[in-house]
Structure 1
Amino acid sequence: MTKPHNHPRRRPMAFGILCALLLSLIPLAPAAGQGVPEPRREQILNGLRILLVNRPGDPQVMLKLRIHSGAAFDIAGKEGLMALLTDALFDADSRRYVTEEIDGRYDVSTTYDSVTVTLAGRATDFGRLLELLRNAIINTQLTPELVNRVRDERIKAAHADAPTREALAERAVAARLFGVHPYGRPIVGSPESLARIEPADLMLTRERFLNPNNATLYISGAIDPMRVMRALRSSLGGWRKSDRIIPATFRQPEAPDLRTLLLDRAGAPEVTLRLAVRSLAEADRDRAALRVLAPIVSARWHAANPQLAGVKMTAYHDARREGGMFIMGASVAPASAAQVLESARKVLRDIAANGPSAAELDKARRLWLDAADNALTNSEANADAWLDGYTYDLASPNPAEIKRAVGALTPAEVQRVAARLFLNTPSAAVAVGEASKLREELARSGGVEVFGEAALKPEPAATPKPTPQSPALQLKRP
């Protein structure tokens, strides 16, 4: 029989009460109009990096822990393993305690490259939030009963989930582009892959990746950094570091199939299109150019299809550690599918050959910098930007560095990066819609493969029987 663990409220730790009392004594100062300051950087003996942002007057405190390994490390055939592990970090009692009893919030998210645990609440509840984080990470409950329950819940959700055409197209183009590489597998897995996961798989994953020297903790609010560091050493100092950090040693994917993959959705009034090429790793020296290439490509794609004014056509970059995706997407009438796909390919060829004008670059730069400035005034977005710097091993984790790099770009530099990405680069194309209306239309822009439809192989011609003549000589090898 599994021994139930105590509820955090009934078993408060001494350091938790002390932290709450100390934080409640910090004088409040007006915070209106203040931006997010650069965090103070610390590290405790087990290798855990700490980023502290003191925001006087902020009644809330936020703890955001980033594990710098994600679903890319799922065991082959057991996709969804890392996502399932994050489901097990907080049981129902802990979740209810955060949201109902201390009026806080929690969130756990998984990407291919990381896991992020967020806990937020009143500054006076800092100690309780820290205790919850400690229990989730250090005292993770992975009993067979718990694992079976969270696995069954996720399988049930996977069966009930009916993906939109957009989500289906995103998954399909990633699988088409990356094949068996981990980036081609779904982060959440499938009912079949989830059913193969055993408690031992979760324990091994937790042992390999949930370690302090593979993590960074960001804390912001009305905090006293010295007192918070004492609390962190007391609470998380016993978190055992790993002997080594598991590196990403994935085999590079094969070139994608150049045919357009057609996923049949009977009755769909529109076709959802995706065209994607493999892009640069987020730590690449040319990553700044990707920020402006997306809006430039999007604007040119719109201009190439004036008859589709008002239709959403977009281009964006999906950043990843080992190389992301540059994606173009639209939803159009079936009769326009081939033309829109072909115009997308032409836009990529043209930007690689000729580059952007100074006016195009200036407009794209302003758009991106304005969006970045707005995002970085938000405490949580600023935290994510700093944590991304450590996840992707950037030369400088400070998000101000990418802003400076974008501001210094020239049209020639953007063209060089566009040529690096798009010139003679195979692309993957996916269409989600009614196959009966799309098969011939898409064939105008190249080959088409209908998903799930076996290719019809011609029957081999019958070999005529030889006319009986004189007995054939039976030759034997010497």
Structure 2
Amino acid sequence: MRRISFSTALLLLTICGWPILSAYAYQNSIEPQREQLLNGLKILLQYRPADPNVLLKLRIHSGAIFDLAGKEGTMALLADSLFPDPGTRRYVSEELDGRLDVVTDYDLIEITLVAPKDDFERLVELLRNAVLNQPPDEATFARLREARLELLRGTSVAPNLIADRATAARLFGSYPLGRPIIGTAESLARITRADLLFARERFLNANNATLVMIGGVDRTRAMRAFRQLLGPWRKSETRVPATFRQPEAPNVRPLILDLPGAETAEVRFALRGLPRRDRDRPAAEILALIARTRWTNELPALARTASFVRHEAHMISGLFTFGASVRAADLAPALDAAQRVIRDLTATPPSNEELERARRERLSTINRPLSSADALADLWLDEETYGVTTSDEARSLAALTPADLQKVAIRLFKDAPAVTVALGDGAALRSAMANRGEVEIVRVTIPTEKSN
């Protein structure tokens, strides 16, 4: 268990009050039991005798950043292939009265299984089948790929998501964070079974994963099942590092996504951010909170609509984004206000009041209640994936000064290229941006869901 000295505790309490200390106390009160199988699989456990259920969450510490260029969606297809039979989900839901979820993002693939504790061994066996069974044959692979293509064709995509994806693509280009996690119809069509087998061989390995178990199963029973059923899972001799050539400079010409007849516009103004493990990442989160307040103060219309400023950190980089849904008439003022905000943050340190308000808001997020097993498992797994704990972030937040924030703002914003994306009625947006030089216009359509 981590410990802090009395003098350090007193200093933290003096600077920021109880929220900082609660991050330390809570972090230390929920430390899991730690085990590791001979194949390198890390296991984190918490026994809750009164809990009638058990949760298993297995995270593969590699995600869509490892998709090959032009074959985006490979890791999402790999996740689909773990439970290729649709009947498996029905079995967990209907027969076990439980839940089975599989998600993929840029940094990971994650399987979640929940069921009554009496069915614990069945859940472990399902995990075993997912990671040890033979890869899908050609017919199964073709069916999985077609199912994902059909999902892409038939799913309605909200305008805000289209704007977010276009912004990431504009900011990062062919760099992994500029590519869609789920792929496109064109990229999925290029993926072959050999690509899937290659990804499985590289990333689906015991020493590239962490398993969390929380619930009414004791350690002895749990470890017996894990050793028996997951012990044979293959260990890789080498792990693939998340190292990539840095992205090219972004295209800073404003991009208009023309959606004729749209009543409002989705606007994004974005710069590259910091990776999750960066020492300045907590400061970037605070800057986003301060920037959000300043942006809405600069343009009160933003407070009446869906607006945000966020720093989105991933394994290899991040995005610092101003976003809003506005009337076309408010588009230029919103962009001007965002530019003033970042210019002011680099020129002058924020006030002590701004820092304290943002610090408390951030602490309320990282000190969120972790009574649910899902939330606690996510916290532990994030620490394994990124190597940064809640206590680490609390320490960083406690030490921040206005001058520190200005230094990080200079690092993020000074002379940094920014991209501008607006989605809405093309004629109205072009008129609103008439004084911003040459713009690029791309026509978009939003597919509607297919009827049954």
Q: Tell me the TM-score normalised to structure 2 length.
A: 0.89
Alignment match, 1:145: 139
Residue from 240, 245, 259 that aligns with 2:234? 240
Rate the CA distance shift 1:169–1:375 in 2: closer, same or farther, 3 A.
Answer: farther
Q: Deviations over 1:305-357 (max 9, x none)?
A: 02444123211111111111111100111011111112111111111221221
CA distance in 2, matches of 1:308, 1:316: 15
- Contact 1:301 / 1:313 at 8 angstroms: preserved in 2? no
Alignment match, 1:29: none
CA distance in 2, matches of 1:403, 1:390: 17
2:31 partner letter: E
- Contact 2:135 / 2:197 at 8 angstroms: preserved in 1? no
Alignment match, 2:399: 408
CA distance in 2, matches of 1:54, 1:410: 40
Q: Deviations over 1:121-155 (max 9, x none)?
A: 11111111000011011115411111111111111
Alignment match, 1:78: 71
Deviation at 1:452, TM superposition (A): 5.8
**2:82 matches 1:89:** yes
SS of aligned partner of 2:400: coil
Q: Which has the larger radius of gyration?
A: 1
Residue from 259, 273, 280 that aligns with 1:279? 273
Deviation at 1:375, TM superposition (A): 4.5
Alignment match, 1:440: 431
Map 1:219-368 to 2 at 5 A: 219-368=213-362
Residue from 30, 34, 37 that aligns with 1:41? 34
SS of aligned partner of 1:374: coil
CA distance in 2, matches of 1:329, 1:406: 25
- Contact 1:40 / 1:51 at 8 angstroms: preserved in 2? yes
Number of matched pairs: 418
Q: Deviations over 1:358-414 (max 9, x none)?
A: 11111111112112222434321221122122222x2xx432322332233222222
Deviation at 1:195, TM superposition (A): 1.2
CA distance in 2, matches of 1:401, 1:446: 45
**2:191 matches 1:182:** no
Alignment match, 1:217: 211
CA distance in 2, matches of 1:199, 1:129: 27
Residue from 51, 57, 63 that aligns with 2:56? 63
Q: By percentage of residues, which structure has more helix?
A: 2
- Contact 2:366 / 2:390 at 8 angstroms: preserved in 1? no
Larger relative contact order, structure 1 or 2 (CA cutoff 8 Å, min sep 6): 2
SS of aligned partner of 2:51: coil
Identity %: 50
Q: Give unmatched runs, 5+ long, in structure 1.
A: 1-34, 454-478
CA distance in 2, matches of 1:349, 1:183: 26
Give me the CA root mean square deviation. 1.9
SS of aligned partner of 1:88: helix
1:403 partner letter: A
Rate the CA distance shift 1:421–1:378 in 2: closer, same or farther, 3 A.
Answer: farther
- Contact 2:47 / 2:215 at 8 angstroms: preserved in 1? yes
Alignment match, 2:365: 371
CA distance in 1, matches of 2:349, 2:172: 27
Q: Deviations over 1:62-94 (max 9, x none)?
A: 111111111111122111111011112112121
1:333 partner letter: R
CA distance in 2, matches of 1:275, 1:375: 32
- Contact 1:212 / 1:239 at 8 angstroms: preserved in 2? yes
1:66 partner letter: R
Rate the CA distance shift 1:342–1:445 in 2: closer, same or farther, 3 A.
Answer: farther
Q: Deviations over 1:87-121 (max 9, x none)?
A: 12112121111011001101111111111111111
1:417 partner letter: V
- Contact 2:302 / 2:324 at 8 angstroms: preserved in 1? no
- Contact 1:264 / 1:435 at 8 angstroms: preserved in 2? yes
1:267 partner letter: G
1:76 partner letter: A
